[in-house]
Amino acid sequence: MDQKFNYTLKIKDKITYINIIGIIDEDNNLEEIGERVGTGTVLLNLSNVERINSCGVRDWVNWLTKIESKGAKVVLLECSPAIVAQINLVSNFISKSLIQSFYAPYYCANCDKEKVLLIESSTMKNVETPSAPISRCDDCDGVMEFDDMEESYFAFLQNSNLGPLPEGLPEGWEEMLNVESTLTSDKKVKTRERTIRSKNSQPSLMSSLPGSLPSSSLPSLPSSSLPSLPGTRDSKSGTFSSLPSFPSQDHAMGQKNGSGKENSSSTQGKQQTLLLGMVSLLFLVVIIILVVVLFKLM
């Protein structure tokens, strides 16, 4: 899925159509795009931006302010979740541009599938506490869960310019922009299989490997020690794999210590009785010698 920075740019009737694809990092061509952007309406399709790093953010913000100062009126369409995250994080990320639509991520635990739903931002304008619209799974038709924190994901709606598309766009503008979906239908979704880092894969790994002893010793946890884990079960993959090893180690250590103590105390006891026996035997021998010596002296 990951793809380095790529773009398409078309200009027709004073409207600039830009489609940015892949990763925005230090190897971007934003400057090149900026040189070609004219004044007037700039439609920017961001649905295929997978990722953006700190260098990318810096270049992006500089680029956007620059083309705006040249007279470009930028409209952002289909902002990907990666873009939404940056809009929420970086206060001037979108500068003066207008957000026309954005994607929201969903997840079906039943099918282990994720999906992004396209939302027209004007439908969430002036909503006090925006919440994720209900989205149903394409496969099982169950209600999908929103795959982020609603409050933080939709926070940008409060202080961004949200709006409809500029009026008077020529017919066929969608093709110029390579937008995958028009906003006139309800089927504004892109689906993709969830990757391996899914929430379900770790616990299933745990149950599928009982008894075996990999170095992490995670799956070898006996059921008795599981009650100490529930907090980590729901946490995301990164912390998950590291956390349970602590209780398991503790457990192993505890077991070792316990049995060790038992062992040493029992051997100590044996040693003590042995020592006691030897001492009393020695004592007896000494007494016998003393008696013999005394007897000879007499």
The minimum distance between CB 140 and Zn ion, in angstroms, equals 3
Nearer to Zn ion, 91 or 110 (CB): 110
Nearer to Zn ion, 92 or 110 (CB): 110
The minimum distance between CB 108 and Zn ion, in angstroms, equals 3
Among residues 31, 32, 35, 139, which is the contact residue for Zn ion, using CB under 5 A?
139
The minimum distance between CB 234 and Zn ion, in angstroms, equals 19
Residue type, 14: K
**CB neighbour list of residue 292: distance below 8 Å, 6 or more residues apart:** none
Site string for Zn ion, 76-115 (x = CB under 5 A): --------------------------------x-xx----
Residue range at the interface with Zn ion (CB under 5 A); choices 119-127, 137-145, 152-160, 256-264: 137-145
Site string for Zn ion, 181-220 (x = CB under 5 A): ----------------------------------------
Contact 10, 173 (CB under 8 A): no
**CA neighbor of 64 nearest in space, from 74, 52, 51:** 74
Contact 50, 56 (CB under 8 A): no
Supply angle C-alpha 15, 184, 137, rounded to 5. 125
Residue range at the interface with Zn ion (CB under 5 A); choices 117-125, 136-144, 160-168, 177-185: 136-144
The minimum distance between CB 135 and Zn ion, in angstroms, equals 11
The minimum distance between CB 118 and Zn ion, in angstroms, equals 19
Nearer to Zn ion, 93 or 106 (CB): 106
**Which residue number places its CB atom closest to Zn ion?**
137
Site string for Zn ion, 140-169 (x = CB under 5 A): x-----------------------------
The minimum distance between CB 235 and Zn ion, in angstroms, equals 23
Nearer to Zn ion, 191 or 232 (CB): 191
By CB under 5 A, the count of residues binding Zn ion is: 6
CA distances 23 to 3, 67, 151, 244, 278, Å, are 6, 20, 26, 34, 80
Among residues 83, 137, 176, 179, which is the contact residue for Zn ion, using CB under 5 A?
137
Q: Which tokens hold the place of 39? A: 């004044």
Residues that bind Zn ion (CB under 5 A): 108, 110-111, 137, 139-140
